[in-house]
């Protein structure tokens, strides 16, 4: 027990205390005495509860107040230019509620009203245009579920196992249903005849915040599936996700999903902005760097059990639950290993995920209480198989920072406590 991180131990103890009052660990055990929760009249069964309008916009019940985004303060200089992490260890299904979907700001989240919102399209277009928010709502719109993953997700794990929790190792991701106007519709409004041959053209996009976070998107992608989105999961975007309008760039690194998007410029070259040169480029072992690494390759992680989600119920039926995704399309298969990659079983997909969206997978096992090394391995529709950490390091070294889609290992001991480890 002493070997394990404080976080894991406390999570385990908390979990144990919660179940101890209710039942005995293990298989369906005989009850010695009547359960007072059943035999005695409880307050909630006799007094009335809250009326409607108690919370005009509802929040999760207080018992779930540990399911929140968390920050790793030492990672960045200031919370205004920083990142926090989605509590993926505690979520199920595939849709991420906006309120706990990770945030990444470069100059803080801004409060911009719909009335003050303007979107400009200029550059190599027939008519430079300015749209209001109301204009955007009059154009034909679409709904799509997509994941948004920061290129730096799992970036702290390049040099070795560092952070004890799926939230911290894999939580720079969220998955929402977006409502928006295809970018190609807006470009058609401005007219692309002036751009001539589109095959070598770009759309440079920037936000209204102080960072502006400019990125260059090749025209082929811009005309394919990029959305100018104003709703997520059915409601307005949250401030921290770019209210009132953000860009959705399916399957591509989160930094390109420009929030508070205010300008799109058709250009004949990439602008080579700060975010696409000094950042979001991947340094390899010999010091050269790869640039324009936009796609997020297939990846998966077991979300439970995991360091923040120890097994507290003892031996017997155990649900191994996890998430898989690929920026190249659909997830077609996920394999799970309980012995560190020696043997694999194909997991059950909770539901066939959409293209470039999270897919939930499950492996339902009878846990005999012996230690496990849990791993998962995603395969996408292109046939790409999620690589091991060794394979990635061999290909790229340890200094890439970005695009770490390695197979993750959780060690689960006899007591059900889980820890982030690397294995031979």
- Range 31-60, binding other proteins (CB under 8 A): none
The residue among 173 and 183 lying less far from other proteins, judged by its C-beta, is 183
Cα separation of the two ends of the chain:
22
Give how far Cα 291 sits from Cα of 185, 295, 321, 402, Å. Answer: 28, 11, 34, 11
Contact yes or no for 43/75 (Cβ under 8 A): no
18 contacts other proteins (rule: CB under 8 A): no
Residue 382 contacts other proteins per CB under 8 A: yes
Q: Which of residues 269-308 bind other proteins (CB under 8 A)?
A: 269, 271-274, 277-278, 281, 283, 285-295, 297, 307
CA separation for the pair 297, 195 (Å, rounded): 31
**Complex with other proteins: residue 165 or 314, whichever CB lies closer:** 165
Name the token pair of 396: 């790229």
Rule CB under 8 A: is residue 72 a binding residue for other proteins? Answer: yes
- Per CB under 8 A, the list member of 35, 64, 66, 364 interacting with other proteins is 66
Nearest-angstrom CA–CA distance, 221 and 238: 26
29 or 159, CB closer to other proteins?
159
Assess 95 for contact with other proteins (CB under 8 A): no
Measured distance CA(384)–CA(333) in Å, rounded? 10
Closest separation between CB of residue 52 and other proteins, Å?
A: 28
Least separation, in Å, of the C-beta of 68 and other proteins?
9
Q: Compute how many residues bind other proteins; rule: CB under 8 A.
A: 123
Tokens of 318: 């155990």
Name which position in 39, 48, 113, 424 contacts other proteins (CB under 8 A).
424
If you ran DSSP here, which 8-state letter would residue 99 be given?
G
Residues 217-276 that bind other proteins (CB under 8 A): 219-220, 223-225, 262-263, 265, 267, 269, 271-274
Least Å distance between CB 257 and other proteins? Answer: 18
Alpha-carbon distance values, 212 to 261, 317, 335, 374 (Å): 8, 50, 41, 41
279: tokens are: 């950042």
CA–CA separation, 16 vs 311, rounded Å?
Answer: 9
The single residue listed with the structure tokens 């920072």 is: 401
Using CB under 8 A as the criterion, what x/- string covers residues 104-123 for binding other proteins?
--xxx-----------xxxx
Can you tell me which of 78, 194, 235, 414 binds other proteins, judged by CB under 8 A? 78
Could you say whether residue 381 binds other proteins (CB under 8 A)? no
Q: Which residues contact 73 (CB under 8 A, 6 or more apart)?
A: 79
Q: Which stretch binds other proteins (CB under 8 A): 27-35, 49-57, 314-322, 382-390?
A: 382-390
Return the beta strands (E) in 100-169 as ranges. 104-105, 118-123, 129-132, 142-149
- Looking at residues 324 to 343 of the shown chain, list those that interact with other proteins (rule: CB under 8 A): 335, 339-343
Stretch that binds other proteins, among 37-45, 239-247, 318-326, 373-381 (CB under 8 A): 373-381
For other proteins, the closer of residues 13 and 20 by Cβ is 13
Residues 164-193 that bind other proteins (CB under 8 A): 164-165, 168, 181-182, 184-185, 188-191
| Contact predicate 394/402, CB 8 Å | no
User: For other proteins, which is the closer residue by CB, 148 or 379?
Assistant: 379
Rounded to 5 degrees, what angle do the CA atoms 196, 199, 203 make?
Answer: 80
Sign of the alpha-carbon torsion through 91, 94, 100, 101: positive
Backbone angles phi, psi at 390, to 5 degrees: -65, -45
């Amino acid at each position: 027990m002493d070997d394990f991180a404080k976080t894991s131990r406390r999570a385990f103890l908390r979990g144990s205390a919660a179940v101890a009052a209710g039942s005995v660990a293990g298989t369906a055990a005989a009850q010695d005495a009547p359960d007072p929760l059943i035999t005695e009249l409880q307050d909630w069964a006799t007094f009335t509860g809250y009326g409607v309008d108690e919370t005009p916009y509802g929040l999760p019940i207080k018992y779930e107040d540990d399911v929140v985004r968390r920050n790793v303060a030492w990672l960045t200089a200031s919370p205004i230019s920083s990142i926090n992490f989605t509590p993926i260890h505690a979520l199920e299904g595939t849709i991420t509620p906006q309120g706990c979907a990770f945030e990444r700001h470069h100059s803080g989240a801004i409060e911009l009203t719909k009335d003050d919102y303007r979107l400009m399209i200029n550059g190599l277009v027939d008519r430079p245009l300015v749209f209001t928010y109301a204009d955007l709502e009059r154009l034909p719109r679409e709904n799509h579920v997509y994941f948004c993953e920061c290129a730096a997700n799992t970036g702290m794990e390049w040099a070795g196992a560092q952070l004890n929790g799926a939230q911290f190792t894999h939580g720079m991701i969220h998955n929402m249903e977006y409502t928006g106007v295809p970018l190609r519709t807006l470009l058609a409004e401005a007219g692309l005849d002036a751009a001539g041959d589109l095959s070598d053209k770009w759309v440079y996009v920037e936000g209204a915040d102080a960072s502006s976070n400019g990125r260059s998107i090749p025209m082929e992608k811009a005309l394919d599936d990029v959305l100018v989105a104003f709703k997520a999961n059915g409601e307005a975007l949250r401030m921290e996700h770019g209210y009132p309008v953000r860009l959705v760039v399916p399957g591509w690194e989160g930094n390109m999903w420009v929030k508070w998007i205010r300008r799109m410029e058709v250009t004949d070259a990439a602008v080579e902005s700060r975010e696409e040169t000094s950042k979001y480029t991947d340094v390899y072992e010999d010091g050269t760097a790869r640039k324009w690494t936009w796609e997020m390759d297939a990846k998966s992680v077991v979300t439970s059990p995991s360091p923040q989600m120890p097994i507290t119920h003892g031996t017997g039926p155990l649900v191994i639950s996890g998430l898989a995704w690929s920026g190249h399309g659909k997830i077609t298969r996920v394999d799970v290993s309980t012995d560190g990659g020696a043997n694999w079983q194909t997991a059950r997909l909770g539901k066939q995920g959409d293209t470039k969206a999270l897919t939930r997978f499950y492996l339902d096992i009878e846990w005999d209480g012996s230690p496990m090394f849990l791993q998962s391995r995603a395969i996408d529709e292109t046939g790409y198989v999620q690589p091991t950490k060794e394979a990635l390091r061999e290909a790229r070294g340890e200094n890439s920072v970005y695009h770490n889609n390695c197979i993750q290992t959780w060690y689960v001991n006899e007591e059900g406590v889980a820890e982030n480890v690397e294995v031979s």
